[in-house]
């Protein structure tokens, strides 16, 4: 599978998973919201119904004497009351204690005798209401038009008399059911719409999340290709040298020596490259550095200047040090790695500075940081390449650098070491005037 397909497929998979998980979460949340609204409605309606039924019960019950007979005194509680089998009574007089809301169209009151025969009815008159049981306190009933009712049944019993009958108060759930149906509709219709948005957002987010992975994948591919290319060059050169020598019928001692020297050069280049690659891999893998190991930067600077003095002299370059601190400057970290960091910068400065040039290796302290500066009067670096020179195998001018023997890993190694020591490297350069590489390293105990 090619790279484009692989990343596209992974992005699809991530977006689908994201939409799926979000879909489940949204469905469960929608279900929860619906249940919460439904429960709140039911609880409020039941509480109201219970309040009305309780008040009616308390007012009517003391007046009831003969089971199944409704004293006329009870009728004052109801502005409208239908006696069964007598016709409905219509009164304009406001009831003393009857709750007014009962007759605003939402409630009905029924009085039943002990054999559950209807004696009186007030308020709503639902048609074809299912028969109800007088023994069940709370019930849901349905009328002919499929309108649901919530009903409470309370037995009526004067303490001095036997059971009189039952009081039933019911309320229509028409409005509440309509409201809940519209909530259900909104949730059902909104879910697919929300899933479309989640899908689009998932696709976009997956793309964003995969961008750095894609970049490092491409860098890895580039690194593998560059490493293979760099390794192949000395091997191919060595093979060509061997083949040309084998084709010669006879070899003089001088020719044998020259051939061996060429092979040795290729071998050294190859082993240097392998060492650099291994060091980079180690730096990539290495966790936090042991902070108890310390390194004195004055010693490091003077050792490097001493080691490279001969090379500088050979190139007729003036190599000088400028140490601006009196006290020994200690930093935590790996001494060999820090040595390699500064060594790479100084050797580059010597390599990219023409004859009669000058390279300065300076050391100073700025606040809580040790600052090492490698300054040269060399060829300089064009601004557009300055950010790239720290990339692995990157060389500004391949032909020129191949002659100097550089593989393009020197600055990548230097930067990796600086970062491992919680430091950083910056570069300032002007083409044809020179470059200045500055390393900042934290001082643990300033
Ligand atoms: P190389 O092994 O090729 O020197 P580096 O990683 O050390 O690789 O450097 C990367 C590139 O940065 C070099 O190829 C060179 O073009 C440029 N460079 C590094 N140091 C200097 C310098 N002091 N002056 C000019 N160019 C430099």
Considering only CA atoms, which residue is closest to atom 4 of ligand 1? 406
- Span 78-104, mean pLDDT? 51
Between CA 189 and CA 199 the distance in angstroms is 16
3-state helix, strand, coil in the chain (%, to 5): 55, 20, 25
Distance 384 CA to ligand 1 centre (A): 14
Residue ranges, comma separated, of all CATH 3.30.565.10 domains in the chain are 289-442
Determine the Cα–Cα distance for residues 124 and 141; give it in Å rounded to an integer.
14
pLDDT above 60 (res 94): no
Q: Is the CB of 381 under 6 A from ligand 1?
A: yes
- As a whole-number percent, the residues of the chain with pLDDT over 70 amount to 87
| Interval between CA 345 and ligand 1 midpoint (Å) | 9
Residue 90 pLDDT: 46
pLDDT of residue 42: 92
| 329 CA distance to ligand 1 middle (Å) | 28
Atom of ligand 1 minimally distant from the CA of 344: 7
pLDDT band with cut points at 50, 70 and 90 for residue 417: very high
438 C-alpha vs ligand 1 centroid, how far in Å? Answer: 14
Under a CB-based contact definition with an 8 Å cutoff, are residues 273 and 230 in contact?
A: yes
| Cα–ligand 1 centroid distance for 290 (angstroms) | 30
* CA 80 and chain centroid, separation: 65
389 in ligand 1 pocket by Cβ < 6 Å? yes
pLDDT for residue 1 is more than 70: no
Percent above pLDDT 90 for the chain: 52
Which ranges in 286-377 belong to alpha helices (H)?
A: 297-314, 335-351
* Look-up of token digits 């390194």: 295
Determine if ligand 1 sits within 6 Å of the CB of residue 434: no
Q: Is any atom of ligand 1 closer than 6 Å to the C-beta of 266?
A: no
Fold of 289-442: Heat Shock Protein 90 (3.30.565)
**pLDDT tens for each residue of 256-289:** 899 999 999 999 989 999 999 999 988 888 766 6
141 lines ligand 1 (CB under 6 A): no
Q: How many angstroms does the Cα of residue 390 sit away from the middle of ligand 1?
A: 9
- Of 359, 381, 392, 429, which is best to mutate to test ligand 1, by the most ligand atoms within 8 angstroms of its C-beta? 381
Q: Which pLDDT value is given to residue 92?
A: 40
Q: Kindly give the number of the ligand 1 atom that is closest to the alpha carbon of 378.
A: 24
345 CB near ligand 1 (under 6 Å): no
Of 51-60, 177-186, 296-305, 357-366, where does mean pLDDT reach its minimum?
Answer: 51-60
pLDDT at 445 over 80: no
C-alpha of residue 324 to centroid of ligand 1, in Å:
27
Instruction: Tell me: cis bond preceding 85? Omega within 30 of 0 counts.
Output: yes
341 CB within 6 A, ligand 1: no
pLDDT digits (tens, 9 = 90+) for 108-153: 888 888 887 888 888 887 887 776 666 678 999 888 888 999 999 9
C-alpha 395 – ligand 1 centre gap (Å): 6
Question: What is the C-alpha to C-alpha distance for residues 34 and 12, in angstroms, rounded to an integer?
Answer: 32
Q: Hey, whose CA ends up nearest to atom 25 of ligand 1? A: 380
Shortest-distance Cα residue to atom 23 of ligand 1: 349
Say yes or no: CB of residue 396 within 6 Å of ligand 1.
yes
> Which among 363, 330, 331 is positioned nearest to 345, based on CA atoms?
363
Tokens of 22: 């979000």
Cα–Cα nearest to 102, from 53, 64, 146:
53
- Res 91: pLDDT: 43
- The candidate with the shortest Cα–Cα distance to 424, out of 433, 432, 434, 414, is 414
pLDDT of residue 284: 84
Is residue 276 within 6 Å of ligand 1 at its C-beta? Answer: no
The residue whose C-alpha atom lies closest to atom 19 belonging to ligand 1 is 348
The ligand 1 atom at the shortest distance from the C-alpha of residue 411 is 6
Mean pLDDT for 406-412 is: 88
Residue 14 Cβ contacting ligand 1 at under 6 Å: no
Query: 233 in helix, strand or coil?
Result: helix
Measure Cα distances from 444 to 110, 293, 302 in Å: 89, 11, 22
Q: Picking from 146-155, 158-167, 275-284, 367-376, which range would have the lowest pLDDT averaged per residue?
A: 158-167
Mean pLDDT, the chain, integer: 86
CA 63, CA 77: separation in Å to the nearest integer? Answer: 12
Q: How far is the CA of 389 from the centre of ligand 1 (A)?
A: 7
Q: Are 360 and 373 in contact (CB under 8 A)?
A: yes
Q: Each residue of 311-338: pLDDT tens digit? A: 999 999 999 999 999 888 989 888 999 9
- pTM value? 0.64
d(CA 414, CA 349): 13
């Amino acid at each position: 599978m090619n790279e484009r397909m692989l990343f596209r497929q992974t992005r699809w998979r991530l977006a689908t998973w994201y939409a799926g998980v979000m879909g489940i979460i949204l469905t469960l949340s929608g279900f929860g919201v619906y249940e919460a609204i439904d429960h709140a409605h039911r609880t409020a309606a039941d509480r109201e119904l219970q309040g009305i039924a309780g008040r009616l019960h308390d007012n009517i019950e003391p007046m009831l004497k003969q089971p199944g007979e409704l004293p006329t005194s009870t009728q004052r509680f109801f502005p409208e009351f239908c006696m069964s089998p007598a016709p409905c009574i219509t009164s304009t007089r406001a009831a003393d204690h009857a709750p007014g809301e009962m007759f605003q169209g939402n409630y009905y009151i029924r009085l039943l005798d002990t054999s559950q025969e209807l004696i009186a009815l007030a308020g709503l008159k639902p048609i074809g209401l299912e028969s109800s049981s007088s023994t069940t306190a709370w019930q849901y009933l349905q009328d002919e038009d499929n309108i649901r009712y919530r009903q409470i049944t309370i037995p009526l019993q004067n303490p001095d008399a036997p059971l009189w009958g039952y009081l039933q108060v019911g309320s229509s759930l028409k409005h509440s059911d309509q409201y809940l149906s519209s909530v259900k509709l909104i949730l059902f219709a909104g879910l697919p719409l929300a899933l479309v948005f989640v899908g689009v957002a998932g696709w976009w987010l997956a793309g964003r999340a995969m961008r750095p992975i894609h970049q490092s994948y491409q860098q890895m591919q580039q690194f593998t290709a560059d490493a293979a290319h760099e390794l192949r060059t000395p091997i191919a050169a060595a093979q060509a040298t061997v083949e040309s020598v084998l084709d010669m019928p006879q070899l003089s001692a001088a020719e044998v020596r020259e051939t061996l020297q060429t092979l040795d050069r290729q071998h050294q280049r190859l082993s240097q490259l392998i060492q650099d690659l291994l060091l980079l891999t180690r730096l990539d893998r290495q966790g936090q550095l042991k902070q108890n190991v310390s390194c004195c930067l004055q010693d490091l600077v003077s050792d490097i200047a001493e080691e490279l003095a001969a090379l500088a002299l050979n190139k007729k370059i003036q190599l000088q040090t400028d140490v601006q601190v009196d006290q020994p400057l200690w930093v935590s970290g790996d001494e060999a790695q820090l040595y390699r960091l500064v060594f790479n910068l100084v050797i580059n400065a010597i390599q990219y500075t023409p004859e009669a040039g000058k390279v300065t290796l300076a050391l100073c302290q700025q606040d809580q940081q040790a600052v090492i500066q490698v300054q040269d009067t060399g060829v300089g670096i064009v601004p557009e390449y300055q950010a790239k020179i720290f990339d692995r195998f990157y060389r500004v001018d391949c032909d020129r650098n191949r002659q100097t023997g550089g593989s393009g890993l020197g600055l990548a190694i230097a930067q990796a070491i600086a970062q491992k020591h919680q430091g950083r490297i910056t570069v300032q350069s002007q083409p044809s005037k020179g470059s200045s590489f500055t390393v900042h390293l934290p001082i643990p105990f300033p």
